Amino acid sequence: MRPLLVGALLVTAACGGGAPPGAGTLAIRDPWARSADSGTVTAVYLVVTNGESGPATYTGASSPAAESVSLHETMAMNGMVHMMALDTAQVIAPGDSLVLREGGKHLMVNGLRRRLVAGDTLPVTVRFADGRALEVRVPVRSAY
Ligand SMILES: [Cu+2]
Protein backbone atom coordinates (compact mmCIF):
# COMPACT_ATOMS: atom_id res chain seq x y z
CA MET A 1 0.00 0.00 0.00
CA ARG A 2 1.20 3.50 -0.83
CA PRO A 3 2.12 5.58 2.24
CA LEU A 4 -0.34 8.35 2.99
CA LEU A 5 1.62 11.56 2.79
CA VAL A 6 -1.22 13.58 4.21
CA GLY A 7 1.09 15.72 6.29
CA ALA A 8 3.01 16.74 3.17
CA LEU A 9 2.18 20.42 3.52
CA LEU A 10 3.87 20.44 6.90
CA VAL A 11 6.94 18.46 5.92
CA THR A 12 7.74 19.51 2.35
CA ALA A 13 10.60 21.68 3.54
CA ALA A 14 12.34 18.56 4.88
CA CYS A 15 12.08 16.56 1.64
CA GLY A 16 15.24 16.06 -0.39
CA GLY A 17 15.01 16.19 -4.19
CA GLY A 18 15.25 12.92 -6.11
CA ALA A 19 14.30 10.66 -3.21
CA PRO A 20 11.68 7.96 -3.91
CA PRO A 21 8.16 8.74 -2.63
CA GLY A 22 7.90 8.03 1.08
CA ALA A 23 11.65 8.13 1.65
CA GLY A 24 13.00 11.02 3.66
CA THR A 25 9.65 11.64 5.27
CA LEU A 26 7.62 10.81 8.30
CA ALA A 27 4.60 8.91 6.94
CA ILE A 28 1.57 6.97 8.12
CA ARG A 29 0.70 3.73 6.36
CA ASP A 30 -2.13 1.20 6.44
CA PRO A 31 -4.49 2.99 8.85
CA TRP A 32 -7.79 1.38 9.81
CA ALA A 33 -10.33 1.63 12.63
CA ARG A 34 -12.89 -0.81 13.95
CA SER A 35 -16.55 0.01 13.47
CA ALA A 36 -18.28 1.01 16.75
CA ASP A 37 -21.39 2.68 18.15
CA SER A 38 -21.59 6.30 19.21
CA GLY A 39 -20.57 6.78 22.86
CA THR A 40 -18.36 3.69 22.91
CA VAL A 41 -14.64 3.12 22.28
CA THR A 42 -12.78 1.84 19.28
CA ALA A 43 -9.23 1.03 18.23
CA VAL A 44 -7.15 2.52 15.43
CA TYR A 45 -4.26 0.61 13.86
CA LEU A 46 -1.56 2.18 11.69
CA VAL A 47 2.17 2.26 11.06
CA VAL A 48 4.24 5.42 11.53
CA THR A 49 7.34 5.16 9.33
CA ASN A 50 10.31 7.38 10.00
CA GLY A 51 12.21 7.77 6.72
CA GLU A 52 14.11 10.75 8.02
CA SER A 53 17.73 10.98 9.11
CA GLY A 54 16.93 11.79 12.74
CA PRO A 55 14.67 10.25 15.39
CA ALA A 56 10.99 11.20 15.53
CA THR A 57 9.07 11.17 18.79
CA TYR A 58 5.35 10.36 18.81
CA THR A 59 3.72 12.43 21.55
CA GLY A 60 0.02 11.79 21.11
CA ALA A 61 -3.06 11.69 18.93
CA SER A 62 -6.53 13.18 18.86
CA SER A 63 -9.73 13.11 16.83
CA PRO A 64 -12.51 15.68 16.51
CA ALA A 65 -14.91 12.70 16.54
CA ALA A 66 -13.82 11.47 20.00
CA GLU A 67 -13.28 12.77 23.53
CA SER A 68 -9.75 11.41 23.74
CA VAL A 69 -7.22 9.18 22.00
CA SER A 70 -4.48 7.34 23.89
CA LEU A 71 -1.79 4.81 23.07
CA HIS A 72 -2.44 1.34 24.49
CA GLU A 73 -0.76 -2.01 24.31
CA THR A 74 -2.58 -5.33 24.46
CA MET A 75 -0.76 -8.03 26.40
CA ALA A 76 -1.65 -11.57 27.39
CA MET A 77 -0.91 -12.36 31.04
CA ASN A 78 -1.84 -15.61 32.76
CA GLY A 79 -4.19 -16.47 29.92
CA MET A 80 -6.03 -13.15 30.21
CA VAL A 81 -5.81 -10.28 27.75
CA HIS A 82 -5.07 -6.89 29.29
CA MET A 83 -4.66 -3.42 27.84
CA MET A 84 -2.07 -1.10 29.25
CA ALA A 85 -1.80 2.65 28.64
CA LEU A 86 1.70 3.40 27.37
CA ASP A 87 3.86 6.35 28.16
CA THR A 88 2.78 8.77 25.44
CA ALA A 89 6.27 9.57 24.12
CA GLN A 90 7.51 6.89 21.69
CA VAL A 91 10.84 7.48 20.01
CA ILE A 92 11.04 6.16 16.43
CA ALA A 93 14.65 5.73 15.27
CA PRO A 94 15.60 6.76 11.71
CA GLY A 95 14.47 4.04 9.30
CA ASP A 96 12.29 2.47 11.98
CA SER A 97 8.51 2.30 12.41
CA LEU A 98 6.01 2.51 15.24
CA VAL A 99 3.69 -0.39 14.45
CA LEU A 100 0.14 -0.38 15.81
CA ARG A 101 -1.68 -3.61 14.98
CA GLU A 102 -4.27 -6.03 16.31
CA GLY A 103 -3.07 -7.81 19.44
CA GLY A 104 -0.36 -5.21 20.04
CA LYS A 105 -0.15 -1.46 20.28
CA HIS A 106 -3.17 0.56 19.18
CA LEU A 107 -4.73 3.97 19.52
CA MET A 108 -7.62 3.69 21.96
CA VAL A 109 -10.33 6.09 20.84
CA ASN A 110 -12.60 7.01 23.77
CA GLY A 111 -16.01 8.63 23.75
CA LEU A 112 -16.94 8.42 20.07
CA ARG A 113 -19.21 11.31 19.14
CA ARG A 114 -20.76 9.41 16.26
CA ARG A 115 -21.32 5.87 15.05
CA LEU A 116 -18.57 4.44 12.84
CA VAL A 117 -19.67 1.98 10.18
CA ALA A 118 -17.60 0.20 7.53
CA GLY A 119 -16.83 2.63 4.73
CA ASP A 120 -16.70 5.71 7.01
CA THR A 121 -13.49 7.54 7.72
CA LEU A 122 -12.35 8.69 11.15
CA PRO A 123 -10.15 11.81 11.14
CA VAL A 124 -7.14 11.39 13.44
CA THR A 125 -4.23 13.76 14.07
CA VAL A 126 -0.91 12.20 15.12
CA ARG A 127 1.52 14.59 16.85
CA PHE A 128 5.28 14.64 17.26
CA ALA A 129 7.65 16.30 19.72
CA ASP A 130 8.98 18.76 17.13
CA GLY A 131 5.49 20.20 16.69
CA ARG A 132 4.58 18.41 13.49
CA ALA A 133 1.15 16.85 13.10
CA LEU A 134 0.06 14.27 10.52
CA GLU A 135 -3.63 14.30 9.64
CA VAL A 136 -4.97 10.88 8.69
CA ARG A 137 -8.37 9.92 7.37
CA VAL A 138 -8.64 6.44 8.85
CA PRO A 139 -10.89 4.00 6.93
CA VAL A 140 -13.40 2.16 9.12
CA ARG A 141 -13.75 -1.61 8.77
CA SER A 142 -16.39 -3.92 10.15
CA ALA A 143 -15.53 -4.99 13.71
CA TYR A 144 -16.18 -8.70 13.10
CU1 LIG B 1 -6.91 -0.23 24.28
Helix (H) or strand (E) holding 2: none
Measured CA to CA, the distance from residue 135 to residue 107 in angstroms comes to: 14
CATH number at residue 86: 2.60.40.1890
Say how many C-beta atoms besides its own lie within 10 A of residue 16's C-beta. Answer: 10
Q: Is residue 3 part of a domain?
A: no
How many domains is the chain partitioned into structurally? 1
The reported pTM is 0.81
Ligand 1 centre distance from Cα of residue 21 (Å): 32
Q: Is residue 99 part of a domain?
A: yes
Q: Is residue 81 part of a domain?
A: yes
Ligand 1 centre distance from Cα of residue 17 (Å): 40
Q: Is residue 1 part of a domain?
A: no
Q: Is residue 117 part of a domain?
A: yes
Q: Is residue 119 part of a domain?
A: yes
Ligand 1 centre distance from Cα of residue 62 (Å): 14
Name the DSSP class of 28: E
Ligand 1 centre distance from Cα of residue 113 (Å): 18
Q: Is residue 127 part of a domain?
A: yes
Q: What are phi and psi of 29, to 5 degrees?
A: -120, 155
Ligand 1 centre distance from Cα of residue 83 (Å): 5
Domain carrying residue 100 = 8-141
Q: Is residue 43 part of a domain?
A: yes
Q: pLDDT tens string for the chain (144 positions)?
A: 555 444 444 444 444 444 455 567 999 999 999 999 999 999 999 999 999 999 999 999 999 999 999 999 999 888 899 999 997 799 999 999 999 999 999 999 999 999 999 999 999 999 999 999 999 999 999 976
Best CA proximity match to 69, nearest among 33, 29, 15: 33
